[in-house]
Amino acid sequence: GQNIDQPTEMTATEGAIVQINCTYQTSGFNGLFWYQQHAGEAPTFLSYNVLDGLEEKGRFSSFLSRSKGYSYLLLKELQMKDSASYLCAAMDSNYQLIWGAGTKLIIKP
Amino acid sequence: GAVVSQHPSRVICKSGTSVKIECRSLDFQATTMFWYRQFPKKSLMLMATSNEGSKATYEQGVEKDKFLINHASLTLSTLTVTSAHPEDSSFYICSARDSSGGDVEQFFGPGTRLTVL
């Protein structure tokens, strides 16, 4: 079956770095997405990886290892506004997104 | 990036009535649109996928006669919740993709919060 695993909740301190891991199993693979979702709002796109390696975009970076079925989202210089849920989603062979349950990130001052 | 709008943003209705939610792509042609629902503190659940001019493909367990989807144009899809009941109360989110150029990113609308009394 198809499955996405990510931690339910993480806590970090303002100004610090946090890494949110995601493992996936899908029928075929056409890339891995990370989305940010604030409570009561729709998800917003953060990153897309289809090749192995690290993609850096400002304070956020995303890593993919296709052979390991593994990705992580790295957030640097954490700000209070980064408190949100972070959704990992893998795209299968039919170009359907398979969603993880999301990781709630709590930032403490 | 591309913009997707949804209307209404919030709706409260009585049990037994029907509610229509519109999803529009504002600056691109959405060859494929997706409808999701999300319960509090849960992840997105795909309800159906619709391609312009075709019948929607519903996910297992989603009643197609209850959740009517129409994707009549490249910029508009509608979801109609028929004979709504309190258990249909949820956050409904649409997303759109321009598949014609091989793009894979989905652009999300802001969501519609439905409350059925």
Rounded to the nearest angstrom, the gap between the alpha carbon of residue A58 and the centroid of all alpha carbons in its chain is: 15
Taking contacts as CB-CB distances below 8 angstroms, the residues of chain A near B107 are 45
What is the total residue count of chain A?
A: 109
> With an 8 Å Cβ cutoff, are A95 and B105 in contact?
no
Asked if pLDDT for residue B97 goes beyond 80, the answer is: yes
- For residue B46, the cross-strand partners are B36
Reported as half-sphere exposure (CB side, CA atoms, 13 A), residue A40 has a value of 2
Tens digit of each residue's pLDDT (9 = 90 or more) over B7-52? 999 999 999 999 999 999 998 888 899 999 998 878 889 999 998 8
Write down the pLDDT at residue B42: 82
> With an 8 Å Cβ cutoff, are A48 and B42 in contact?
no
Reported as half-sphere exposure (CB side, CA atoms, 13 A), residue B72 has a value of 5
Which range of A68-72, B68-72, B95-99 scores highest in mean pLDDT? It is: A68-72
The answer to whether B54 and B99 have CB atoms below 8 angstroms apart is no
Asked if pLDDT for residue B82 goes beyond 80, the answer is: yes
pLDDT band of B55, cuts 50, 70, 90 = confident
- Which is more confidently placed, A24 or A39? A24
**Phi and psi of B17, rounded to 5°?**
-90, 170
> With an 8 Å Cβ cutoff, are A99 and B109 in contact?
no
Distances (CA, A) of A46 to A30, A87, B13, B116: 17, 10, 34, 33
Write down the pLDDT at residue B1: 65
* B5–chain A Cβ distance below 8 A for any pair: no
Strands B19-25 and B4-7 turn out to be antiparallel
- If you average pLDDT over residues B92-109, what whole number do you get? 85
Q: Counting one residue from A and one from B, how many pairs have CB atoms under 8 Å apart?
A: 43
- If you average pLDDT over residues A29-36, what whole number do you get? 95
Nearest residue to B69 via CA among B91, B98, B47? B47
Taking contacts as CB-CB distances below 8 angstroms, the residues of chain B near A105 are none
Residue A76, both tokens: 């640097």
Shortest distance between the Cα of B60 and any Cα of chain A, in A, equals: 14
Contacts with B100 (C-beta within 8 Å, 6 or more apart), sequence order? B29, B31
Q: What percent of chain B lies above the pLDDT cut of 70?
A: 99
Write down the pLDDT at residue B40: 82
Q: Which of A41, A87, A96 sits opposite B110 (nearest CB)?
A: A41
